[in-house]
Amino acid sequence: MKSVSFHLILVLLMVFSSCKKETKEPMQDNSVQVEAGGKDTPKPDSGSLEKESKIKKEKAADENLTASRPLDSINKDNAVVFLQKYGEENRERIALIKTRLGNMKIRLYEETPLHRASFIFLSKMGYFDTTCFYRVVPDFVIQGGESERLDTQRYKARYERYKIPPEFDKKLKHKYGAIALARDWKDNPRKYSTAFEFYIVQNRKGAHHLDGEHTVFGEVISGFETIDRIVQLEAGSDEWPLEDVFMKIEVID
């Protein structure tokens, strides 16, 4: 009887010992805990840091540009809708183009509402104030709305170089002093206007071969002598005056 009891106690001790060992093993943690920033923490490569820095700089530049003038939302996709609404809210038709060689007062046509609205919009936003008359062709035209300044290109990029569908009117011709928008002649079958560049007819007989090719949207009503002063400037082979004639445009009424 003692022998049986002894063996029974021994078996119970062995079972208890086994159970105790099994409950202990799951508590063991074989993982390696690494503090934040430790050697096992992945670090961004130099390319990622440079990209992040570039994004921050571009965002800051865009914020500075936005802060310099009222907010707007025109782009190449919504140009027509935007200009229709803008034209309804901004009815001005008279503007003054100021240059170092004199001023020109211009009247914009109601018959070309999109072109009028675009010219007023870009004038109020300050785009034309960064540009100059970059092309002079005696007995033909003076052309403005471009420059080598970085601000000019930033404006164009911001507005996605939007274009305007033509607004041809047989009554609005390329007479002396007429103002029209430039356009691409290649890959532009619908003759969309380039919103940012305009020209003024300097030939006293007009430039009627351009009727129906470019949208005439206004005319000079005073300051014709300034047109002649600008067109007579010495220019390079690219017709760009050797001395820039920058402009400022003031919307009057």
Q: Where are the domains of the chain?
A: 76-251
pLDDT at 73: 85
On the 0-12 / 13-18 / 19+ scale of CB atoms within 10 A, 173 is middle
pLDDT at 49: 59
Confidence of residue 95 (pLDDT cuts 50, 70, 90): very high
Q: In terms of CATH architecture, what is 76-251? A: Beta Barrel (2.40)
Hey, what amino acid is at 145? G
- What does pTM read for this prediction? 0.73
Local structure of 90: helix, strand or coil: coil
pLDDT at 43: 40
The rounded distance, in Å, linking the Cα atoms of 87 and 150 is 28
How crowded is the C-beta side of 105, counted as CA atoms within 13 Å? 6
Percent of the chain residues topping a pLDDT of 90: 71
pLDDT, mean of residues 118-137: 98
